[in-house]
Structure 1
Amino acid sequence: MERLSCDRYPCHHPGQDCTFCFCPFYPCTDERTGGGMIDGEWSCDFCHLLHDPDLAARVMEGLIRGEDLEEIWIEVEKML
């Protein structure tokens, strides 16, 4: 779901899923996501991971079921 009224839209790309405005995995430190270290801090500027509708839905389902973030991340890694 796009939140066109968000003052930060588009933070990544048109058509993005905005279920997660803030990543529950931050800082994942996994450069396969497109993120990386900038000035000593983890930057998600090029990560589109949680803006993918299928992946966002999987993460939300896991959180609702009460899964640990580590368990959910294992599933996320399979989608990278």
Structure 2
Amino acid sequence: MERLSCDRYPCHFPDQDCTFCFCPFYPCTDERTGGRMVDGEWSCDLCVLLHDPDVAARVMEELIRGEDLEEIWIELEERL
């Protein structure tokens, strides 16, 4: 879902999925996502994982079903 009216769009990359404007896994501290430590804080500005439309849809489905965040993250790690 593109939010073209958002003053931060695109915060990651053009045509990103903005379902999760705020990551439920923050801070994942997994550099395989593209995230990294910046001045002692976790930065997600290069992460593309959760803004991939297929990933966002899958995470949303699992959250709606009541799946545990840790279990969802384990599944996402397979994509990294």
TM bin (shorter chain): over 0.9
What residue in structure 1 maps to residue 54 of structure 2? 54
Q: TM-score, normalising length from structure 2?
A: 0.97
Give 4+ residue runs of structure 1 displaced > 2 Å after superposition: none
RMSD (Å), alpha carbons: 0.6
TM superposition shift of 1:7: 1.1
Q: Flag structure 2 segments of 5+ consecutive residues without an equivalent.
A: none
* Identity between Structure 1 and Structure 2 (%): 86
In the alignment, the residues of structure 1 paired with residue 58 and residue 79 of structure 2 have an alpha-carbon distance, to the nearest angstrom, of 10
In the alignment, the residues of structure 2 paired with residue 27 and residue 68 of structure 1 have an alpha-carbon distance, to the nearest angstrom, of 16
What residue in structure 1 maps to residue 31 of structure 2? 31
Q: Secondary structure, in 3 states, of the residue corresponding to 2:50?
A: helix
Report the AA paired with residue 23 of structure 1.
C
Give the length in aligned residue pairs: 80
